[in-house]
Chains A and B, each alone.
Chain A
Amino acid sequence: SYELTQPPSVSVSPGQTASITCSGHKLGDKYAFWYQQKPGQSPVLIIYLDSKRPSGIPERFSGSNSGNTATLTISGTQAMDEADYYCQAWDSNTYVFGTGTKVTVL
């Protein structure tokens, strides 16, 4: 079965840039999606089709996808960005989520 691997945690200082990777076999041949989930809340779609932002998502969130790795970048990280982030792709009639990354804003 297809697997997507993310680092368990990423720490970033306020105002700095955080990068979260998502690795999977030939992930660049598929579309990658990203969700943000804050404690006690539902997941929110923040990036779709590798790099597009839904309406209402701040410009500081951006995405890319090439080779075996998709990357979510948070520029000018704010305290409100502290959350769990999950990547997602679709493979063989299955929606696959990454292992998740906890972003801590120190």
Chain B
Amino acid sequence: EVQLVESGGGLVQPGGSLRLSCAASGFTFSSYWMSWVRLRQAPGKGLEWVANIKQDGSEKYYVDSVEGRITISRDNAKNSLFLQMNSLSAEDTAVYYCARTKQDGYSSRYFDYWGQGALVTVSS
């Protein structure tokens, strides 16, 4: 059974930093792209893809709004995915999900398994 378990969420002040972790099990972690997706908590907000990383970590992509502030990484030996978040603002308040990512070909790119999420609240 595929399992993704996030940890590391919490309350952080504006301008602060936080590191999220995701422990994966039930599949060959090193064979998959992995992503972080967030659900913003503000009214009317929905799902937003944040970042993804290739199987060997050689390619990483980010949504424009987090470029330069957030870094995705992975440790295949420990079946773990990470998200280092710096210079946080209220706009980053969200539930952050770790998601296994399928990339079967051009345009066939989606998320087939999700973790339970980690809440990040940015507030003074």
Contact = CB atoms under 8 A, between A and B. Distances in A.
A45 B111 contact: yes
Interface residues of B, number: 24
B32 interface: no
A67 interface: no
B35 interface: yes
Given A42-B117, A43-B97, A54-B112, A99 B46 contact: yes
Interface in B11-55: 35, 37, 39, 46-49, 52
Contact of B107 (A30, A44, A97, A100): A30
Contact of A42 (B97, B107, B109): B97
A42 B114 contact: yes
Contacts of B35: 95
Contacts of B107: 30-31, 89-90
Interface in A3-57: 30-31, 33, 35, 37, 42-45, 48-49, 54
Interface of A: 1, 30-31, 33, 35, 37, 42-45, 48-49, 54, 84, 86, 88-90, 93-100
Interface of B: 35, 37, 39, 46-49, 52, 61, 63-64, 97, 102, 107-117
